[in-house]
Amino acid sequence: MAVRIRHTGRYREIAMALMRHGFGYMVEELGLFQMLSLPRRRLKHEQTETKTLGERIRLVLEDLGPTFVKLGQLASTRSDLLPDTVIRELVKLQDQVPPFPAKAARSILEEELEAPVDEVFARFDDVPVAAASIGQVHLGKLKSGEAVAVKIQRPGALQTITRDLAILRDLSQIAEKRWEWARRYQLTKIVEEFSKSLLAEMDYSREGRNTEKIALQFQDDPYIFIPRIFWQYSSSRVMTMEYVEGITLSQPEQLEQSGFDPKLIAKRFVNAMLYQIFMEGFFHADPHPGNLILRKDGSLAFLDFGMVGRLSSDMKDHLSELIIALMRKNTDSMVRAILHLGLLPEDNDLDALRRDLDTLRDEYYDMPFSEIGIGKALSDLFGVAQRHAIMMPPDLTLLGKALLTMEGVIQKLDPELSIIDMAEPFGKKLIKDRFSPGRIRGKLLGSAAGLAEALLDMPSQARHLSALFSKGKLKVEISMPEMESLMRKLDQISNRLSFSIVLLAFSIIMVGLIIGSSMNRQSSILWHFPVIGIGLGVAFLMVVWLLYAIFKSGKF
């Protein structure tokens, strides 16, 4: 409520933009009419006749300015959340705004670098070469002689974005209370996820660290170039980087005129992207042609690391399972991989999911591998996930967007290049690494540690469960058809627990006897009986008996 009172004017702007483009019903259901005293007559002027839903959403975002444009661009990567018709409109959002004055740019520079501009730069161009909603780029030269590009954050951008994100969080909470679809898609979590991504993009020091991390991946590759960051002249609002001169990949004709082979450039670009994704698990998530420059020496430079994706080892494993399952037309394997990767709603219909995946599989059934685009295949799979409200990890959807963007670039450079063929050696290496002895040993050790921790934590969990029982706070819902299955599961759990406790107890006793005997340097003979030997024998017999009883019951 405090947010609404403090930013009433901005709430009004948002409500008016929604009504202007045919979303007056949302304003009404969100309760903004009463809160803002809006004129209901505006509802009659909704412009819904000729525009699609996606177009109207795009127009709303453009009307509301930089924060909403950036959020729309981020949302365009989430094909698991939005239909294709909306995604196609969101990708049209342009982040071009008029530049802010050079005087303001110099003022921010001096504030952040704590030194006059003329003391740091031998030359600083007041006219920016690019301007966007978050910042703009100026060219210059350091006193030490290096040509640089200086990215400077727009004045007040952080405050504006922080305000708008607070309003969006408030509106998403209201929406979850009023609409079932908002609760199902966990709208507040989505807004929070987008907020984190946008605020991370506002921090130029984070972008600098991303740049250096990618640079380490290619430090021994002469064909890939990552510009250097000058940290002594950078901060969270200013980033000074090595200036890169060359031809952008959006100009294939100029590349050929300059004597370069577009097909060779396409191969190097794809190889670099696949290496980042499948080997390093840390990749440039926005490789559009403007961020790719071919230098005079033939090396390919990557620019702008504000948006990056990360894939854990498990995510890479499940991703490879998903792609292999699609290529092999195996629906059950696709279902398993999607369930491993995404968050499945409790009421999801797995049979319906299988039917949709069967339909998708049939689309690729007779298509040669060389004609299948990985990005398109992933996008189609995420579309199926979206229809079944399966929440996919944000980095995975970023990957889908990055692959689609990559395919768009190489389509202009070499339409005959097969990404699948180039991805094959990376896939083989992934499989080899996955089943390597070291990897398996690490997973087994991790699982053993997790099991030991769970056993140690069992008493406290039991006390917590008992407390909930005693306070009447434990709610249990059991349907009769599930009772037999539940009782069988309980039998299995109790038998396994008994086995674990008996085994653990005898292990502790025997270890104690052995250690005590060795420390005191005394024989383990007690009353003429070899205690340790007998104990081990008894323990062995009891364990064998217990295992026999459990296996005989068929409920292990």
Nearest to 278, CA basis, from 398, 429, 439: 429
Q: Determine which of 50-64, 157-171, 262-276, 428-442 has the lowest per-residue pLDDT on average.
A: 428-442
pLDDT band at 438 (very low <50, low <70, confident <90, very high): low
Q: Is 372 helix (H, G, I), strand (E, B) or coil?
A: coil
d(CA 59, CA 69): 10
Predicted local distance difference test score (pLDDT) of residue 26? 86
pLDDT band at 481 (very low <50, low <70, confident <90, very high): very low
Assess whether 91 and 7 both reside in one domain. Answer: yes
Instruction: Give the range of the structural domain holding residue 320, as residue numbers without chain letter.
Output: 311-438
Looking at 373, 407, 438, which one is the last position of a domain?
A: 438
pLDDT band at 366 (very low <50, low <70, confident <90, very high): low
Predicted local distance difference test score (pLDDT) of residue 32? 77
Query: Which residues, other chains included, contact 541 with Cβ-Cβ below 8 Å and sequence gap of 6+?
Result: none
Contact indicator for 150, 131 with CB cutoff of 8 Å:
no
Does any domain span residue 232? no
Q: 526 or 315: whose pLDDT is higher? A: 315
d(CA 19, CA 28): 10
Predicted local distance difference test score (pLDDT) of residue 206? 94
d(CA 294, CA 331): 42
pLDDT band at 488 (very low <50, low <70, confident <90, very high): low
d(CA 486, CA 504): 27
- Number of separate domains in the chain: 3
Contact indicator for 139, 149 with CB cutoff of 8 Å:
yes
Does any domain span residue 101? no
Q: 259 or 477: whose pLDDT is higher? A: 259
Q: What is the pLDDT of residues 388-397, one digit of tens each?
A: 777 777 788 7
Assess whether 397 and 542 both reside in one domain. Answer: no
Assess whether 328 and 425 both reside in one domain. Answer: yes
Residue 24 has pLDDT above 80, yes or no: yes
Q: Determine which of 157-166, 335-344, 449-458 has the lowest per-residue pLDDT on average.
A: 449-458
Nearest to 212, CA basis, from 198, 230, 197, 195: 230
pLDDT band at 507 (very low <50, low <70, confident <90, very high): low
Does any domain span residue 329? yes
Percent of the chain with pLDDT over 90: 25
pLDDT band at 480 (very low <50, low <70, confident <90, very high): very low
d(CA 315, CA 397): 12
Does any domain span residue 50? yes
Does any domain span residue 48? yes
Angle at 179 between CA 176 and CA 180, to 5 degrees: 95
Q: 364 or 51: whose pLDDT is higher? A: 51
Predicted local distance difference test score (pLDDT) of residue 270? 93
Q: How far is CA 524 from CA 256, 504, 515, in A?
A: 87, 21, 11
Q: Determine which of 66-70, 159-163, 230-234, 512-516 has the lowest per-residue pLDDT on average.
A: 512-516
d(CA 516, CA 519): 5
pLDDT band at 526 (very low <50, low <70, confident <90, very high): very low
Residue 53 has pLDDT above 70, yes or no: yes
Assess whether 424 and 539 both reside in one domain. Answer: no
Contact indicator for 488, 555 with CB cutoff of 8 Å:
yes
pLDDT band at 319 (very low <50, low <70, confident <90, very high): confident
Assess whether 410 and 509 both reside in one domain. Answer: no
Looking at 404, 438, 472, which one is the last position of a domain?
A: 438
Contact indicator for 51, 86 with CB cutoff of 8 Å:
no
Predicted local distance difference test score (pLDDT) of residue 197? 83
Residues 258, 261, 263, 265, Cα dihedral to 10°: -70
What is the per-residue DSSP string for 195-221?
A: HHHHHHHH-HHHHHHHHHHHHHHTTT-
Query: Which residues, other chains included, contact 239 with Cβ-Cβ below 8 Å and sequence gap of 6+?
Result: 150, 151, 204, 205, 207, 208, 229
Q: What is the pLDDT of residues 280-317, one digit of tens each?
A: 999 999 898 889 999 999 999 999 998 898 988 888 87
Structure tokens at 134: 């978050």
Predicted local distance difference test score (pLDDT) of residue 492? 62
d(CA 337, CA 385): 12
Mean pLDDT along residues 36-53: 62
Q: 408 or 112: whose pLDDT is higher? A: 112
pLDDT band at 2 (very low <50, low <70, confident <90, very high): low
Predicted local distance difference test score (pLDDT) of residue 404? 83
Assess whether 170 and 29 both reside in one domain. Answer: yes
d(CA 289, CA 250): 5
Instruction: Go through the chain and tell me how many residues it has.
Output: 556
Structure tokens at 430: 């992934």
Report the range out of 88-97, 220-229, 363-372, 407-416 with the highest average pLDDT.
Answer: 220-229
Task: Give the HSE-up count for residue 266: Cα atoms under 13 Å, Cβ half-sphere.
Answer: 23
Looking at 200, 225, 256, which one is the last position of a domain?
A: 200
Predicted local distance difference test score (pLDDT) of residue 109? 95
Predicted local distance difference test score (pLDDT) of residue 36? 64
Assess whether 173 and 39 both reside in one domain. Answer: yes
Does any domain span residue 127? no
Does any domain span residue 373? yes
Assess whether 332 and 424 both reside in one domain. Answer: yes
Nearest to 357, CA basis, from 340, 373, 374, 380: 380
Predicted local distance difference test score (pLDDT) of residue 238? 96
Predicted local distance difference test score (pLDDT) of residue 335? 77
CA terminus-to-terminus distance, the chain: 55
Does any domain span residue 396? yes
Q: Determine which of 95-99, 255-259, 262-266 has the lowest per-residue pLDDT on average.
A: 95-99
Percent of the chain with pLDDT over 70: 70
Mean pLDDT, the chain, as a whole number? 79
Task: Give the HSE-up count for residue 253: Cα atoms under 13 Å, Cβ half-sphere.
Answer: 0
Ramachandran category for residue 156: left, alpha or beta (phi over 0 → left; psi -120 to 50 → alpha): left
Assess whether 429 and 490 both reside in one domain. Answer: no
pLDDT band at 43 (very low <50, low <70, confident <90, very high): low
Q: What is the pLDDT of residues 328-357, one digit of tens each?
A: 677 777 777 777 776 666 666 778 888 887
Nearest to 334, CA basis, from 407, 276, 390: 390
Catalytic positions, written as ranges: 286
Q: To 10 degrees, what angle do helices 331-341 and 350-363 make?
A: 120
Assess whether 421 and 508 both reside in one domain. Answer: no
456 exposure class (CB count in 10 Å sphere: 0-12, 13-18, 19+): exposed
DSSP symbol at 138: E
Predicted local distance difference test score (pLDDT) of residue 510? 60
Assess whether 421 and 528 both reside in one domain. Answer: no
d(CA 447, CA 426): 27
Give the number of other Cβ atoms within 10 Å of residue 165's Cβ: 19
Assess whether 413 and 497 both reside in one domain. Answer: no
